[in-house]
């Protein structure tokens, strides 16, 4: 007989969003994406603001500013060719298949990423919020080449620790708030379980194939091109992934910022006035430039 009070039970269970399909987005002839925004996940996507799962074959966005957030590129291994990265921090190099590039914009930076001729870039573009106290930080960046990412091998799974830590295996640390990013490939009949600490947020995307997701005692089917968000309770919660026919999933784990924010395009600030100030600073050349 269950004698728990319903309110106590709710506090001790993880919160799970509805299953969210990606919204199709196409720009020109060289960019197609499935987009996911925070307002579709019942507030549970925090600290992520948005994720675009995209394929880019031509330069699309040009030089653009960021402020108040981190812009993170997670490039999948099946990309072909190079992704040229430039920014106002002085970085000018090619990102290879499997790499990660994290730009902590802070008070503001200017950025450009574009595929080189003949390239096909399959990746995630992720906006990660910064707490209000860090939105005026100096910009910083991190490039993690694929060969420097540890890999967890199992009989039916292969997990790249793109950032952070999984099952005692530690990868690079972000230049902003801690975040774990896992690129998980499950073979036919494969499974993988990731422990998630108390009071953390997790976001799971089915990049390819269909998976069964088990969060504590709640299970659901996650089809290709859809995502869910999870907020753990006062207790740590395992997230188990299984696929009958094989799948690739991206799993993000971080600490929610739990602050009000406003997003306009590449700006994520606490107020509209701060966004207008960031726009003015960019127009005045105060966010830097790319030579």
User: Confidence band (pLDDT; 50, 70, 90) for 291?
Assistant: confident
Q: What is the pLDDT of residue 72?
A: 98
CB-facing half-sphere around the CA of 83: CA atoms within 13 A: 31
| Span 94-127, pLDDT tens digits | 999 999 999 999 999 999 999 999 999 999 999 9
Q: What is the pLDDT of residue 5?
A: 35
Residues 276, 259: Cα–Cα separation, whole Å: 19
Residues 259, 11: Cα–Cα separation, whole Å: 20
Q: What is the pLDDT of residue 49?
A: 98
The conformational region for residue 167 under phi > 0 = left, psi -120 to 50 = alpha, else beta, is left
The token pair at 247 is 């799948």
According to CATH, the topology of domain 20-283 is Jelly Rolls (2.60.120)
**Residue 209's closest CA among 243, 266, 247?**
247
Kindly state the average pLDDT of the residues 142-168. 97
Kindly state the average pLDDT of the residues 215-226. 96
Residues 206, 212: Cα–Cα separation, whole Å: 10
- Counts for the chain of helices (H) and strands (E), in that order: 2, 27
Residues 68, 105: Cα–Cα separation, whole Å: 6
User: Confidence band (pLDDT; 50, 70, 90) for 13?
Assistant: confident
The token pair at 92 is 């000018």
pLDDT at 209 over 80: yes
Kindly state the average pLDDT of the residues 69-98. 97
Q: What is the pLDDT of residue 171?
A: 98
Kindly state the average pLDDT of the residues 276-291. 94
Residue 250 CA, chain-centre distance (Å), reads 8
pLDDT at 180 over 70: yes
Cα dist from 138 to 34, 88, 141, whole Å: 31, 12, 10
Q: Are 274 and 100 in contact (CB under 8 A)?
A: no
Q: What are residue 227's DSSP bridge partners? A: 20, 205
Q: What is the pLDDT of residue 9?
A: 41
Cα dist from 154 to 119, 158, 171, 192, whole Å: 31, 6, 18, 9
Classify 273 as helix, strand or coil: helix
Name the residue with higher pLDDT: 2 or 10. Answer: 10
């Amino acid at each position: 007989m269950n004698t728990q009070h319903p309110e106590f039970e709710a506090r001790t269970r993880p919160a799970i969003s509805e299953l969210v399909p990606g919204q199709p987005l196409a720009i020109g002839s060289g960019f197609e994406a499935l987009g996911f925004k925070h307002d579709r996940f019942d507030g549970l996507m925090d600290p992520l603001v948005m994720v675009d799962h995209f394929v880019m074959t031509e330069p699309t966005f040009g030089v653009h500013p960021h402020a108040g957030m981190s812009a993170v590129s997670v490039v999948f291994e099946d990309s072909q060719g190079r992704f040229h990265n430039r920014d106002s921090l002085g970085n000018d190099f090619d990102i290879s298949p499997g790499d990660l590039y994290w730009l902590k914009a802070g008070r503001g930076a200017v950025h450009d990423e574009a595929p080189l001729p003949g390239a096909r870039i399959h990746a995630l573009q992720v906006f990660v919020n910064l707490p209000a106290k860090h939105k005026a930080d100096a910009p910083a960046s991190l490039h993690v080449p694929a060969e420097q990412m540890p890999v967890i091998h199992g009989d039916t799974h292969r997990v790249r620790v793109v950032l952070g830590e999984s099952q005692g295996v530690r990868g690079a640390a972000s230049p902003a708030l801690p975040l774990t990013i896992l690129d998980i490939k499950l073979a036919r009949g494969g499974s993988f379980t990731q422990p998630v600490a108390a009071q953390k947020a997790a976001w799971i995307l089915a990049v390819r194939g269909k998976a069964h997701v088990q969060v504590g005692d709640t299970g659901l089917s996650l089809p290709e091109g859809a995502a869910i968000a999870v907020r753990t309770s006062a207790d740590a919660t395992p997230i188990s992934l299984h696929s009958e026919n094989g799948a690739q999933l991206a799993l993000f784990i971080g600490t929610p910022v739990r602050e009000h924010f406003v997003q306009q395009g590449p700006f994520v600030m606490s107020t509209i006035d701060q966004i207008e100030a960031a726009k003015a600073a960019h127009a005045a050349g105060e966010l830097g430039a790319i030579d």
